[in-house]
Amino acid sequence: MALAESEDAPLFAPSKKVYPQSVSGSFRRIKWVILVLCLGIYYLLPFLRWDRGPNLPNQAVLADIANNRFYFFFIEIWPQEVYYFTGLLILAAFFLFLMNAVAGRVWCGYLCPQTVWTDLFLAVERAFEGDRRERMKRDEGPWTADKLARKTGKHLVWLVIAWWTGGAWVLYFADAPTLVRELATFTAPLSAYAWIGILTFTTYALAGIMREQVCTFMCPWPRIQAALTDDDALNVTYRYDRGDPRVSVKQATRLRAANEPAGDCIDCFQCVAVCPTGIDIRDGSQMDCIQCGLCIDACDTVMLKISRPTGLIAYDTDDNVKRRIAGQKPVYRLIRARTLIYTALIGLVGGAMIYQLATRSTAGISVLHERTPLFVTLSDGSTRNAYTIRLLNKRPDSRPFALTVAGPPGIRVETVGTQATADLRPIITVEPDSSREIRALVTVPAGIPLDKSQTITFTASDLFAGEVVTARDHFIAP
């Protein structure tokens, strides 16, 4: 019988709806400030202008897919420079590792988009349906006109926020004022409406309906960070050396008067009520905890009301709790090998990217030796090689380049279908944001001693900006 009952029992306990209670305090204020900053940047950044000169878009941040460009203020990224995005991903990973080494899932509690939008959706829910007790009571009660009106209003506002979230995203891929006008007049591309629809649905579902389930079941970071953390990382910790044994306020007063142990925790469950994932932090470190610190604010408020010291729940380590029980001083090691290594890696990758950006060229040259034939001996005894040269212009205006070649004495270069300077250097004009391929003939006069293969250097000089690019290849002789 017992076996049959165990076979019928569910593998997992059914999840209960979480009703986070509003709370005030330092960490809640920090979260509000971060929410306003993050959402303000996300929604308004596409409308920020940045003057790049003629023939270039003036949107500060723009992913110009049509013209294969990405603009970020004064930085312009070309498709072949995708390694910058790789560098940004590496930097983001190291920053995440560093935050985890310092304070656990602090990214999840304050900066993660899921957390930011969920906080916004919860604020809307409280505005329509009240705080925790009111929402629970209303959900348990029958449907009334008031209940229907409140829930309808809440979901409509959620949908508007989700719709504008999707709309703001597509504004990063086209001129924002122009696209807003096209969206309003239903003349925008179909892909814009499709992406707005997709992001509206995902934002509404993830931030409004699924909420903590995303953090608990869908996000891989809780599993990853558990493998990366160590004993010195600060986490939201219930200091059971202070809190236990848990008794009521009256019992605690009586026990302390009798010089008997009494903890500061009075089992008010306020830490559970405000938790956005519905956990009890007093049960110890848990994967569901996003380290948002709201339970700290709730507990500190209660401690002040009962005239006890704050900090019963705080950013701390389990080792420090054990040290205090043993009569030792707590140890905080924010600067240690792990954090120093992550900081050094961030500096190394960031420095390499900045150096590459500061020294990169807006022109390029590549050379390909023609193979049939490898060389030609002319009637006057000179030797000629043919090359295909491609010049790249990354600027938004036309640029004339003078081509020269360096190598054996008397070496000269001619190009097909181009003009020349006064000193007979070929001039190749390259159109804006494009490349040009030309055929070049390199000749070494007769009588010059040559090896079978020697290195020569092609140089293209911008006649206006003075920028110089070079490429090497080999000159083949008999």
Residue 367, pLDDT score: 94
Residue 313, pLDDT score: 95
Q: Are residues 244 and 307 in the same domain?
A: yes
Q: Please say whether the beta carbons of 330 and 323 come within 8 A.
A: yes
Residues of the chain with pLDDT under 50: 1-6
Q: Are residues 320 and 411 in the same domain?
A: no
Q: Are residues 309 and 367 in the same domain?
A: no
Q: Are residues 316 and 428 in the same domain?
A: no
Report d(CA 217, CA 214) in Å as an integer. 6
Residue 13, pLDDT score: 56
Q: How many domains does the chain have?
A: 3
Q: Are residues 302 and 410 in the same domain?
A: no
Tokens of 156: 């409509």
Tokens of 435: 């490349």
Q: Which amino acid is at 113?
A: P
Q: Are residues 377 and 443 in the same domain?
A: yes
In whole angstroms, how large is the CA radius of gyration of the chain?
34
Helix axes 26-44, 294-305, angle to 10 degrees: 150
Q: Using CB atoms within 10 Å of the CB of residue 75, give its burial: 0 to 12 exposed, 13 to 18 middle, 19+ buried.
A: exposed
Residue 17, pLDDT score: 87
Q: Please say whether the beta carbons of 236 and 317 come within 8 A.
A: no
Residue given tokens 């910790």 in the structure block = 237
* Domain-located, residue 114: yes
Q: Are residues 218 and 313 in the same domain?
A: no
Q: Are residues 86 and 219 in the same domain?
A: yes
CB atoms within 10 A of CB 74: 9
Report d(CA 454, CA 445) in Å as an integer. 15
* Domain-located, residue 443: yes
Q: Are residues 258 and 294 in the same domain?
A: yes
Contacts 24+ apart (CB under 8 A), 453-458: 453/477, 454/407, 454/408, 455/407, 456/405, 456/406, 456/407, 456/408, 456/411, 457/405, 457/406, 457/407, 458/365, 458/367, 458/387, 458/389, 458/403, 458/404, 458/405, 458/413
Q: What is the pTM of this model?
A: 0.83
Residue 1, pLDDT score: 41
Q: Which amino acid is at 125?
A: E
Domain residue limits at 210: 26-228
Report d(CA 383, CA 228) in Å as an integer. 64
Q: Are residues 153 and 287 in the same domain?
A: no
